Each structure stands twice: as C-alpha cells, then as structure tokens.
Amino acid sequence: MTVAKVSQKCGARTKAGKRYQRAVSPGTSRCWEHPGEWTDRGQINRKLKELKETQAQLNKSRKR
C-alpha cells in the first residue's frame, strides 16, 4: 500500500477569504510570497510601509 503525497496549501487568506492556492515552502505553513512579518523580508516590508506612512503624514502637515 502506498501513501499519496498531498501537497499542502499556503495558510494565507485571499481578499475573498479563501485559502491561497500556492504550495507551501519546505518547513513552513506559507508559500514564498507570504513568509510572515518576522522574516527578513517581512521586516523590510513592514519598515518600508511605516516609512511611507510617515512621509505621507509629513507631506500632509507641510501643506497646511
């Protein structure tokens, strides 16, 4: 008897609320596009987002 290999799907959710259909990366519960906030890529993305928000607030306050 052989066991079928089942590919796991990424745990991220789409805008529609369904599971993302990409296969997971080895040793994780997410695909390469959704590594999480505390990976190197996630930290860089979070810092860039915060920087853009800060710049937008500064630009808004300078226009007044």
Query: Is 49 in contact with 33 (CB distance < 8 Å)?
Result: no
Please state the pTM of the whole predicted model: 0.43
Task: Give me the pLDDT at residue 5, please.
Answer: 57
Per-residue pLDDT tens over the stretch 2-60? 655 556 888 788 889 888 888 888 877 788 887 766 667 777 888 899 999 999 999 99
Q: Report pLDDT for 58.
A: 92
Res 7: pLDDT: 66
Q: How far apart are CA 36 and CA 54, in angstroms?
A: 22
